[in-house]
Structure 1
Amino acid sequence: MLDFDTCNAARLRRDPAYDGVFFTAVKTTRIYCRPVCPVKPPLTRNVSFYPSAAAAERAGYRPCLRCRPETAPFCAAWNGTRTTVERALRLIEEGALDSGGVEALAARLGIGARHLSRLFAEQLGASPVQVAQTLRLQRAKRLLNDTSLPMSEIAREAGFGSLRRFNASVSALYGRPPSALRKAAP
């Protein structure tokens, strides 16, 4: 958390760089605000600062109806469904769909599989399975270019369940088998 003087100076300037970084709580009104709130600034002796909206609420303050601090930048509510998709992408990159299905991934995110697929279609224009496949193929291409690992090892490292699936996926995308891609690499 930033020190009191830095927060107070940012609050008085209504500095947008600090929006979502801290929240100003007013002791006399029991309301907390964002640093960019357009209302008349309260006296410095009447304010305290909190690192999150949740911390201010826990201390007994209610959100300002003017600046809506619960929707401040860097807050999960502000990011909305984008946060869910970003979490899903991180899990997919870590191999969540290599060993499980979309249903298991959605359950880890606390939503339904259909809703997750809808979010991916809206925000990425592809399904979670298609995104995972693209990531696997990118990993495989990097391994083909940068290593001399055997094909079976590349398939396993890239997240493919079998060498046959790896060969079929690479051939479908690049129009040639993985061995030809390795030979073509500079």
Structure 2
Amino acid sequence: MTKIHITAEPFNSEEDYLLFEEARVLSKIYIGPSEYENYDEETKQFLYDFLCKQNEFSLFVVFEAYKDCTEELESKLRQKSILYSLGYVEPKQKGYPVFRITINNSSALNLVLEESFWFAGSNQFYAVSFSDNITYKQKLTKGLFGRQKQSLVPCFNMKEAATVIVIWHDGQGFTIYTNDLRYASLDELINHLPSGTIID
């Protein structure tokens, strides 16, 4: 059984390093492991259990990788016939690779998490969406010394009911952004947690 803590947080688009297009009211809920030891592994396992409980395939996993780590992952995805694309944000010479993977069942989800979740643990952007709704767009962000600069950031279209899960720093839990009534409040979300979950 997994012990977690769960917190509803106010959504403020200016504070999040993300864009949400056509979003009406968005709920923002953080879920994290209660134990500090092996928190990234705990997060990965609970994420897997939570997504399997929802049984909402296809899922769409998007993450930013490292240039020297793409070939091995591509090979494993091809071996298992998992649909993916690999692109670059900004020109390839100075940009970074972005994987977009379509997950059609729990075994594919398990393989992708086992092979790629460490990117989230090393502070790369890593998200799971219940719909194919991500692009990258320019956003004015704060750089060094508080100076503003234009950056390409993940952008999610939330016109329809949508749920996006973004892994937190170091893989320590995740934040759910949603306009889906099934997850819009703590009580509703708790009803959709895996059986046996203990809320601390």
**Structure with higher helix content:** 1
TM over 0.5: same fold?
no
Q: Give the number of the structure whose alpha-carbon radius of gyration is greater.
A: 1
**Structure with higher strand content:** 2
Q: Which has the higher contact order (CA 8 A, sep 6+)?
A: 2
- Under a length normalisation based on structure 1, what TM-score does the superposition of the two structures give? 0.21
